[in-house]
Amino acid sequence: MTIRTADLFSIANSGIRSSNTLLRTTGHNISNVNTEGFVRERTNFVSQLTGGVGQGTTERVINQFAQNQLRRDTTRLGEAEAFYQRISQLDNILASEANSIAGSLSRYFSSLQTAIDEPGNVAARGLVLGQAGSTLERMSSLSDFMNQTESELNDELGNITTEANDLIKSISELNTKIREIQSGNRFEEPGVLKNERDMAIQELAEIVSIETRQKDDGTTLVNLTAGQSLVLEAGVFNVFQISGDPDITRKTLQLQSSDSPARINIAETQLGGKMGGLFSFRDEVLAPSQRELGQLALGFADAMNEQNRLGMDYDGQLGGDIFSLPSVQALNYADNSAANLAINGRIQAGQAENLSTSDYKITIDAVTAGPPDTVDITVELLNADGTPSLDTDGNPITQAYTGLEAANGTWEPILDGLELEFPDGATYAAGDEFLLQPTRYTAAEVNLDIVRGEDLAFASPIKAQGDI
């Protein structure tokens, strides 16, 4: 084999071309030194076998390990900041003396003790009602704040989901462009497009925890750390969908492919990033706080009612309820046999002390037409995040009931001091499911049921009469 050597002119020409390429690369680096997301480029040359400088290859100077570590750290920071920002707002409200429930309860019981010491003092009795109203107002105000926080949280989740979808779509489109350009020029990377794509991936990493995989054609595939794909090959990508069933205010995430109607549920605890931080705040802090506040309000009101019914009021009559406790309508699951079915729940008088902060999933097992109409049900306790509540042995807490009368105005007792009403009779169907949340919003729905201080029953109902 004979190798032909290049002449001096071609050698010099190749040197000038290579130097010009190096100057262009250097100029490109200098002019973009302040460009966000820009990655420095480098041109490498090899010598030609026939003499002179061969074809140069321009590539980005990037450490893939450092880039992946930056994305992971960005995810952790985004999650921590989103969680801290939300929890600090709630902490400031609850820690404020102006919103202290403990202080309000102390003032209520102090006024109650004063009135008991002077049962004939009508003004002291009126002060008890004033403090009772103030305590309920304090609880209602905190409940409204938590509900507003939940609404704002849902809006923020919707905005972040839209942002994530836009980034996922942008990454997929940039992958397509990079593949097309790189396949036609193997000596020069489409650095501008790759920088733009990596910036989009970095922004996505701030929202959710992701893992990336590089392909030989220059494209980057993106998955959630939990394993679900976000950006696939051939430009196909998955998008986030937000839904809630049966509670439309409790958002859950699903993945849906851009070319398929199938949806994949995502565990919020595995998301990470801003989105994971917001879900953690909702499930670990906000939702339990809402239910604990409702449990406190119901327990306080029911205990005061029970005690007041044991005595006689200023007019010598047996005492009645001081507070009115609300009934709660269960939420209807989307797959139920009819959308207008209802189950109502309330606290049995004197049983609020047994109430937990759990939600109650009620499943209709069987329906028997009457008269009277009856239903068989299974009640399952759920935590605020939707997971099953467990007993001391680690087993889900469930209870089955048979032959419960299903009629408007008929209340059937179940566990934890609750009783249920099935107003739709034999209209229910086996498999219908309902979600009862007896403590979630009830802190704002407990009301003062008396307007006269004279109705406070401080006297013992026992009378003694001597034998004449």
- Provide the 8-state DSSP code for 396: B
pLDDT for position 19:
84
User: How high is the pLDDT of residue 302?
Assistant: 95
CA distance 209 to 185: 33
Question: How far is Cα 321 from Cα 417, in angstroms, rounded to an integer?
Answer: 18
pLDDT of residue 33: 83
- Residue 129 forms beta bridges with which residues? none
Give the mean pLDDT of 249-273.
81
Collapsing DSSP states into helix, strand and coil, what is residue 313? coil
Segment 175-204, tens digit of pLDDT: 989 988 888 777 677 888 998 999 999 999
Give the SS3 label for residue 254: strand
Helix axes 64-95, 122-184, angle to 10 degrees: 170
| pLDDT tens track for 56-79 | 777 787 888 888 899 999 999 999
Query: Which stretch of 26-35, 239-248, 258-267 has the lowest confidence by average pLDDT?
Result: 258-267
* Alpha-carbon distances of 211 from 64, 95, 152, 179, rounded to whole Å: 12, 40, 29, 20
34 versus 396: which is more confidently predicted? 396
Query: Each residue of 408-446: pLDDT tens digit?
Result: 999 999 999 999 999 999 999 999 999 999 999 999 999
Q: Which two tokens stand for residue 179?
A: 């593949």
Confidence check: pLDDT of 366 > 80: yes
What residue type is 24 in one-letter code?
Answer: R
For residue 462, pLDDT beyond 80:
no
Residue bearing tokens 């859950």: 252
Q: Report d(CA 114, CA 107) in Å as an integer.
A: 11
Nearest-angstrom CA–CA distance, 174 and 167 = 10
